[in-house]
Structure 1
Amino acid sequence: MQSLHASSPLPAVSRGRRHRFLTWGAVVCGVMILTLIGMDLEPRAFALGFAAAALPVPLYVALALWLDRFEPEPARTLFQTFAWGATFAVFLAYVANSVTEDLIGTVLGPDAGALLGSVITAPVVEELAKGFALFVLYRELRDEFDGVVDGVVYAAMVGLGFAMIENVQYYGAAFAEGADSPAAAFMLRGMMSPFAHPLFTSIYGMGLGYRRERHGQRGSWVGPVAGLAGAMGLHALWNLSASLEGWFLALYMMVMVPAFLGVLWMIVRSLRREGSIVRRHLASLVDEGVLTPHELECLCVVRRRLGSTARAWRQGGLRHWRARRELHRIASELAFHRWRVARGITLGDEADAARDAEYLRRFCELCGMGRELGAVPDRRAAPRTSPGAPG
């Protein structure tokens, strides 16, 4: 089924001429940054570095997308966000970092230029370059960017794109050195810090998500401002740790690991909030006889969603699994559409009503199909509904 919503490309442009301009701009920036990296490496080292940087990316992307359990983001928008990080953001950061490092080095010396460029210039420039994509998504995708989880997912995409191209340079240099350098580089960048860039940018993404969740409330602007400052600060501390001999592991354990766990805690908390939104805005379907209380509860809790999709797979294979997944998606789309309208994030009365009616029609259709296939969970022994977190 074609999506009921249209995703806007990055940056804030519509389809057509400006979209084509952006696409070709991304291609040009991607070719230029890879050319600049390749000029410093032999062809073999560049090819090996690119392969080492790209091969694990699908796994990292899958792990990031797994977090978005209630309302998965449009695949096209996710790809565009990743592409922004891998092309425009890297190219802008590469040029700005090189220029500012040379300027500082001219005044204070090469060593000072390298240190200050790494600790001050790079975190500011790189987080602004990546964060611009999130800001555009926040402004343009009013019917998709709903909260903290969405902010983290989009941040992960732009961060992974950025990190992949950056790693080409590091891995390529390691292969050029030979000996144990590739293994050491992979241990540092592939095992200990594959989510460094996504982690930094996710703090800003959470700030934007916080503002969306509190749409229209006073003080919500603090979220993005604090998030961007936090992203730059954590990035600066990470770069500084690499320059302080003997301090890297200590700062990694005392700062990076707690920060990563903190982001995971915020995601869990936000998922509970999203479950409460689904419960509250689909509760009327129980009164209307579309859903039973047990079926509603299975839509509101992550582990029950996972259990119902696993059960659908066991009972009927891929067809049942797809039917259940689509039912979950449409249920979330309907609930979050109603939540946005209630918060004043609207496309106009007529458009809102038409979208609600289409979501509801599709949801009822999928419910009937699911019961025929056996993909809708057993109604017996319905669990007691637990209170939801505040929306």
Structure 2
Amino acid sequence: MKNALNIDADASGPIGTDSFFQPRRAAFWVLTGLIVNGLFYTLQMFSMGLRVVPVTVLLGLLVWAGYTALFMLAFRALDLLDQHPWEAFLLAFGWGGLGSVFFAAPANLAFQSLCSKLISPEFAAAWGAALAGPTTEEFMKLAGVVLMILVARNQFQTHLSVLIVGAMTGLGFQVIENLAYTVKASMHFPLESQVEPVLLNLLTRGLLAGLWTHAAFSTIASYGIAWFLLHPQRRIASRLAMAIACFTLAWFLHFFWNSPLLEDVFSEELTGLVLLTCVKGIPVLLAAALFWHVAARENGAYLHALGAYFVPERALIADDEWLRLGAPLLRWQARREVRRRFGAQAGLLKTRLQREQLRLIHKAATYGRGPQTRQHELAILRLREALDLSMSRNSQRDAAVP
């Protein structure tokens, strides 16, 4: 509760009012400058592919944009996108896909070249990616999360608010990396087809590996930053130890994913590839899910504390809604149940009601209750009335059916 009411001495207003457009802060210019720089680097990187395999590049852009949209829909379904304004996710995705790639791509080549010279070319071929990828990529992705916190410190009040930015950073890196591999594969594809490489990479890198690569790695590493940031009462040594431990776990899981370990155990056929991917990927998914679960519980306690203080009226947040307030999955299940029993319109009204309740709590915590929250209060009452009417009509219609 204290966090919700404190005033950030370095900010222009109460908690939560900082935007991500902060031209007076150096971190803003570092972040945006490196993203723009990465944009030019990425365009140059794809320019040859656009000349040689234009169908692959254009189709790849379309496919991986749709892939990104599916992740965004999943985040939206769990109300995770309500953690920040839209520009936060644009910056996070841009840093992951453009800023991080600008540094990580040449750094990976230099790292593997160093392994080749110091040890052997055979070692670099087998283990170079396993050592270089986690070292350069995880560090650069996490640097973007830190820069965003420096840009708008009081936007990050919960662990979940840090994790969703970390996940978006990892998703940006993942999508641009997948597009780069798609174009590279098409330029060296044995058949004269510019479509098959796109479909093949979508299957292998998107569907088989999509749930447990960069977005999951960045989620794990970002939890350490969240813990360091949101536990100032702890000793600095403990906070640093947690940040280092989470980064080390993300590094090790990334190393294990890139390494040639277990490749000899499974066949090179599709079945063997799927099994190897699952064996390497499931530990990553479980670790990321655990951190999401812990962050969601902390976020739920935070929302309950704010709601109890600022929005005690049960006309605005009913008892059953109160129980689900801090659990994104439970809120989604409630929407699905309403949609199943009373139809699509009732499900949509339930969705709008839940999100309006979250907006009311966040705005009340930022500015207090008053004229500034009246529109949300009235919207909740109107939506509840419309929802009750929609549910009643569907119940009567079902009862009338013999």
Q: How many angstroms does 1:171 deviate by?
A: 1.0
Q: Which amino acid in structure 2 is aligned with residue 331 of structure 1? A: I
2:35 to 26, 34, 56: 26
> Per-residue displacement from partner, 1:235-275 (whole Å, max 9, x unpaired)?
11111048944456555333421331332233234323322
Q: Residues 376 and 115 of structure 1: is their aligned pair in 2 closer, same or farther, counting only changes over 3 Å?
A: farther
Match of 1:89 among 92, 100, 103: 100
| Paired position in structure 1 for 2:305 | 280
Unaligned runs of 5+ in 2: 1-14, 267-272, 389-402
| Distance (whole Å) between structure 2 residues aligned to residue 114 and residue 39 of structure 1 | 25
Q: Using the alignment, how far apart are the partners of 2:263 and 2:161 within structure 1?
A: 35
For the Cα contact (< 8 Å) 1:49–1:169, is it kept in 2? no
1:112 partner SS? helix
CA distance in 1, matches of 2:346, 2:117: 68
Tell me the distance in 1 between the aligned counterparts of 2:18 and 2:23. 10
Q: 2:258 aligns to what?
A: 239
**Deviation by residue 1:87-146 (Cα, 9 ceiling, x = unmatched):** 110010011112232333344444333334301122100111101011223444332223
Picking from 245, 251, 271, the partner of 1:226 is 245
Work out which of the residue numbers 115, 122, 130 in structure 1 matches 2:126: 115
Change (3 A) 1:50 1:318: closer
> In the alignment, is the contact (CA less than 8 A) between 2:93 and 2:169 conserved in 1?
yes
Match of 2:293 among 256, 268, 273: 268
How has the CA–CA distance of structure 1 residues 200 and 369 changed in structure 2, closer, same or farther, with 3 Å as cutoff?
Answer: closer
1:45-69 Cα shifts (integer Å, max 9, x gaps)? 4444444433311112322444444
Q: SS of the counterpart of 1:220?
A: helix
Q: Which residue of 2 aligns with 1:79?
A: 90
Amino acid in structure 2 at the alignment position of 1:33: T
Structure 2 match to 1:342? none
Q: Which amino acid aligns with 1:144?
A: Q
**What letter matches 1:374 in structure 2?**
R
- State the TM-score, normalizing by the size of structure 2: 0.73
Give the structure 1 partner of residue 391 of structure 2.
Answer: none
1: CA distance between counterparts of 2:317 and 2:102? 53
Contact 1:48 1:175 in 2 (8 A): no
Are residue 326 (structure 1) and residue 356 (structure 2) matched?
A: yes
Letter in 1 for 2:205: R
Cα distance change, pair 65–265 in 1 and its aligned pair in 2 (3 A): farther
Out of 167, 171, 193, which is 1:156 matched to?
167
Instruction: Summarize deviations over 1:261-306 as a string: whole Å, max 9, x none.
Output: 3322332343233222222332245667885662644644546644
- Which runs of 5 or more structure 1 residues have no equivalent in the other structure? 338-354, 379-391
Give me the whole-angstrom Cα distance separating, in 1, the residues matched to 2:46 and 2:325. Answer: 47
Q: 1:7 aligns with which of 19, 31, 34?
A: 19
CA contact 1:89–1:129 (8 Å) conserved in 2: yes
For residues 126-183 of structure 1, give each alpha carbon's deviation from its aligned partner in whole angstroms, at most 9, with x where no partner exists. Answer: 1111010112234443322233322331122111111111112211133330546554
- What displacement does 1:225 show? 0.8
Any conservation in 1 of the 2:27–2:148 contact (CA below 8 Å)?
Answer: no
TM-score w.r.t. the length of structure 1 is: 0.75
Structure 1 letter corresponding to 2:247: L
What is the root-mean-square deviation of aligned Cα atoms in Å?
A: 3.7
CA distance in 2, matches of 1:135, 1:213: 13
1:181 and 1:92 mapped to 2: Cα distance? Answer: 26
Give the paired residue count.
353
Equivalence map 1:374-385=2 (5 Å): 374=384
Residue number in structure 1 paired with 2:207: 191
Number of the residue aligned with 1:172: 183
**Counterpart Cα distance in 2 of 1:240 and 1:282:** 47
Residues 205 and 227 of structure 1 are in contact (CA less than 8 Å); yes or no, is this contact kept in structure 2? yes
Q: Give yes or no for contact 2:216–2:285 (8 Å, CA) kept in 1.
A: yes
Answer whether contact 1:68 1:149 (CA < 8 A) is retained. no
